[in-house]
Amino acid sequence: MTRPPLETIGTDRRTFMCGAVGTAATLLGAAAHAQVAPGVRPRVLPPATRFDAVKQVDAGDLNIGYVDLGPRTGRPVLLLHGWPYDIHAFAEVGLLLAAQGYRVLVPHLRGYGTTVLRSSEAVRNGQQAALAADGIAFMDALGIKQAIVAGFDWGARTADIMAVLWPQRCTALVSVSGYLIGSQAANAKPLPPKAELQWWYQFYFATERGRAGYAANTDAFNRLIWETASPKWQFDDATYNRSAASFVNPDHVAIVIHNYRWRLGLVDGEKKYDDVEARLAAGPPVKVPSITMEGDANGAPHPPAEAYRSKFAGPYEHRLISGGIGHNLPQEAPQAFAKAVLDVARLG
């Protein structure tokens, strides 16, 4: 297998001051060459970046909370977060892209923030097809015909699936850790012991003790994941607490537990997604222009870039982001992530 081309980009952790387009352009340019040593204190976000103006829209099974930045006539970009994170992972990225004239849409995934299921009878479903369907329903609700889709963790998987199943709606893709589409059959295969160890929380969640433990200790549990997934990111309490507020959601625990149990085949998904899951289980390639990214200090389970290169059949680049960058790449390296979105728009 041919090794994918790598573009190593250092990151700048200096305090970001939002403002004019010129400032955004300077920061994006700096992302191409800046390098800092691990251990630098984190930036403190100014009030304007805290995503306080959350809107709501009915979309499919959900009432979705989201942030809408930039001109409404701008090219749409859909930014998707993962677990256990929230929309604040894209606070700086959103401002950078909005300053470049993009319309930036950042929804809370199901089970996070102000996004809730509209029916009390609905299944608290965390399977991958459901989250991708949410993304398309969200675009439909806002009248967005096409968008660049970008994300990390659950959000990267969701963006990957959207790009595969609805390429006419997703013009380009930015995906941290590459191709994350999976299947219950593939997940049933055992991994080497060291790889299995990285998934300790998945096995914990498979037990009733794990469900009860996560429900009782959500805040401490998720902070531990932040620390282990991004071992060199010295985030402060305020940064974590802004996102932790999104875990106080009536559906959060149920959806997280279902997500990980579904992956292992311990619970069923919804019948309406059976055909979609069958298509995804075949590992279909991504054909839209794509940039995949990885932090050089990602402590979460993730595949090597070589393992998924063949899954990208269209224009493609892979970028390794240096400077002690962990799993939450958009929040730890916002300039590099925003630059990837701008670049993928021109890649095709």
Spans of the chain, pLDDT less than 70: 1-50, 348
What distance lies between CA 179 and its chain's CA centroid?
12
CB of 20 within 8 A of CB of 98? no
CB of 223 within 8 A of CB of 240? yes
The pLDDT, as a whole number, for residue 50 is 53
The pLDDT, as a whole number, for residue 177 is 97
The pLDDT, as a whole number, for residue 341 is 98
HSE at residue 25, side-chain half, CA atoms within 13 A, is 5
Q: How far is CA 325 from CA 49, 123, 301, 320, in A?
A: 21, 36, 14, 10
CA geometry: angle at 117 spanning 112 and 118, to 5°? Answer: 140
CB of 21 within 8 A of CB of 328? no
Q: Which ranges of 288-332 does DSSP label H, i.e. alpha helix?
A: 305-308, 329-332
Nearest-CA neighbor of 260 among 120, 133, 118, 154? 154
Collapsing DSSP to helix, strand or coil, 198 comes out as: helix
Distance CA 40, CA 85 (A): 21
The pLDDT, as a whole number, for residue 22 is 47
> Tens digits of per-residue pLDDT, 226-282?
999 999 999 999 999 999 999 999 999 999 999 999 999 999 999 999 999 999 999
- Is the pTM of the predicted complex or chain greater than 0.85? yes
| Encoded tokens for 236 | 């402060």
Nearest-CA neighbor of 68 among 87, 40, 85? 87
CB of 116 within 8 A of CB of 140? no
Collapsing DSSP to helix, strand or coil, 280 comes out as: helix
Burial class (CB in 10 A: 0-12, 13-18, 19+), 189: exposed
The pLDDT, as a whole number, for residue 74 is 96
